[in-house]
Structure 1
């Protein structure tokens, strides 16, 4: 059914919302948008706040922060880093809920390696790490003191001893042995060489150990005889009795000596007795003074004198006159040391 006002048709009010209803709907929608935006804002504000733990200078600090990076955390706390100080995680790392940030202060240490000493500051935890930071790499046999796993402390002195092993091969002589054989036909004290000895040769392998260039040890690893030595063979006399001047002379040993002669000098002998025939001068280191002797070509004698030129296997015989001494001259004789 239609109604006409001023000649125009008009729909019934039950056919749809009027202008006033549209305004109400728009107002409700705006209120919903404002509430949603506020919720998102407060939710983001609460989400940006993080709880972390800061360890610095031996202290543990629990913090609430909204900054983005570890570097920002230190900056907001007024923590300054010195040379060599270390931060874990790194400064650029993003801050996360429950994170632990540790600041390790560097300490002074000295490192000696290969004879050179380096002073540095390091935040390393162990000696191994400190050497790695200093770019000093110990070899497998190098000696490190303190040990590589020792904790680093302030003013620690770290030493790396460079160990080097050198292998050398050398040839050395091998001494020969002397084989003695008794001979009853030789006078006691006399020695006759039957075969001359000859040295051998041996190749040796040595390992030389050096610490910082100085030799500290050497060990022979192996040896091999190249040429064996040849023994020296000698015969040693055992005969202790000879017949001289129609008499048997028993002796303890015989000595081959060079004999000279002297005569009166106006002085007594070294033993204080006046010189006479039968007194001889000897080297007391070889024949003690007072020893009874038998000298071939001279006869029985007693060692009672010494002389400046009488040394070793030399003997000086007293003669009654200078002419006899000259006639004797210099001879090689056997001197028998009597029992």
Structure 2
């Protein structure tokens, strides 16, 4: 088929126009940019997100996030969302840990990106699912559980046993007591450097205590001159001596051999006594210097009283 040259030129021009129009339509597009919540529509020839942002003079700062990614292609009607990072200050155990710039909104995601793994061993304020949209502070408290081992003494018991060979009122240590040792294991929970819980989980005895055994005297008789006498009480006292003063005793009797001056609050007047080194007597007198565990025995002469002097003796209060 023959086409004249005159007709050929307009056809070529028409073809060029068509191709150009199609190409223009293919690269020219209208897209939406949402920058931190604010939307704008732009016409662009950019092929991907990075080119588009460069074209529009939009800069990304550290911590900012763009969706889709910078290398992703764009087409007619594409929507590019820019989330601007904001500062979140993280306090760990009451000390400043770090400040992060983030676009994450949930507390748990912010912590995860900061290298803190949420779990049962931490307390977080605000709570993990709280949404944060602006600068804020997250307080993180680590709950640390550890075992602490201590040692304690175990007190010993005292066992008493009756001893008929020992005088009544007297005691004698048969076996000396010794404290034992035990090891205690506690499960201790610590938060912010303070113990918030302490639970005893194990006890191990390292050394058993040794009980103290004490013999308690029950013998209440003494033998003197072939005769045995029962007594109610035996005492260790300081004994001095006195002689005639020209006065009767506190009980109105004339003093003589066997008269003993006592403190009535300790040994009642009228009590029958046996004093070691002196013999039998009766509590019949008192004295201004006879107080507490002291007695004064009567002797017939001044020389005998001086010779007696001052001595520690046992006095038996007879039944």
Shared topology, TM-score over 0.5?
A: yes
Task: Kindly indicate whether residue 63 of structure 2 is the aligned counterpart of residue 63 of structure 1.
Answer: no
Shift of 1:56: 1.8
Task: Kindly indicate whether residue 159 of structure 2 is the aligned counterpart of residue 159 of structure 1.
Answer: no
Q: What's the secondary structure of 2:21's corresponding residue?
A: helix
Q: What's the secondary structure of 1:38's corresponding residue?
A: helix
Which runs of structure 2 are paired with 1:40-189 in the superposition (5 Å)? 40-47=19-26, 48-52=28-32, 54=34, 56-57=36-37, 59=38, 61=39, 63-66=41-44, 67-71=46-50, 73-74=52-53, 81=60, 84-97=63-76, 99-113=78-92, 116-118=95-97, 120-123=99-102, 124-134=104-114, 136-137=115-116, 142-146=121-125, 147-152=127-132, 154-161=135-142, 163=144, 165=146, 168=149, 173-182=153-162
Q: 1:182 to 1:36 in 2, by over 3 A?
A: farther
> Unaligned 5+ residue runs, structure 2?
243-259, 276-280
The CA deviation string for residues 169-194 of structure 1, in whole angstroms up to 9 with x for no partner, is x6654433223335577666544433
Q: 1:205 to 1:160 in 2, by over 3 A?
A: closer
TM-score, length-scaled by structure 1 = 0.56
Task: Kindly indicate whether residue 197 of structure 2 is the aligned counterpart of residue 197 of structure 1.
Answer: no
Q: 1:184 to 1:39 in 2, by over 3 A?
A: farther
Greater C-alpha Rg = 1
Q: Is the 8 A contact 1:319 1:325 kept in 2?
A: no
> Unaligned 5+ residue runs, structure 1?
1-16, 264-275, 281-289
> 1:279 pairs with 248, 263, 275, which one?
263
Shift of 1:54: 1.7
Give me the whole-angstrom Cα distance separating, in 2, the residues matched to 1:325 and 1:78: 125
Shift of 1:121: 4.5
The CA deviation string for residues 210-238 of structure 1, in whole angstroms up to 9 with x for no partner, is 55666665554433334433333334456
Q: Is the 8 A contact 2:237 2:294 kept in 1?
A: no
Shift of 1:117: 1.4
Q: Is the 8 A contact 1:292 1:301 kept in 2?
A: no
The CA deviation string for residues 67-87 of structure 1, in whole angstroms up to 9 with x for no partner, is 444355556667555553333
Shift of 1:122: 1.9
Q: CA RMSD in A?
A: 5.3
Corresponding position of 1:229: 209
